[in-house]
């Protein structure tokens, strides 16, 4: 499975769940707001394998529904 990941930064409240639970994909942008790791390619990066599965599961944990995942 391959998944395209991004963060709706306008909706993100900076709770930290995603970048605490899955730091291999998400990071603090410096203001507490989540972003996809720049080292992965940033917003719209495509990930696969275990990381893709974890990202799909984590999506439902975001209280702001700001994690966007799309199977590609």
Interacting residue ranges for ligand SF4, rule: CB under 6 A: 7, 12-18, 34, 62-64, 66-67
Question: In DSSP terms, which residues pair with 70 in a beta bridge?
Answer: 4
Q: How far is the CB of 63 from ligand SF4 (least distance, A)?
A: 6
Nearer CB in complex with ligand SF4: 31/71: 31
- Which is it for the CA torsion 38, 40, 62, 68, positive or negative? positive
Question: In DSSP terms, which residues pair with 53 in a beta bridge?
Answer: none
Nearer CB in complex with ligand SF4: 51/64: 64
Nearer CB in complex with ligand SF4: 53/61: 61
């Amino acid at each position: 499975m391959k998944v395209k990941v991004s963060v709706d930064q306008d909706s993100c409240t900076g709770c930290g769940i995603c970048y605490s639970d899955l730091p291999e994909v998400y990071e603090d942008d410096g203001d507490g707001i989540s972003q996809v790791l720049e080292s992965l390619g940033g917003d719209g990066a495509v990930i696969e394998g275990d990381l893709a599965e974890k990202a799909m599961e984590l999506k439902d944990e975001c209280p702001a529904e700001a994690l966007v995942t799309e199977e590609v």
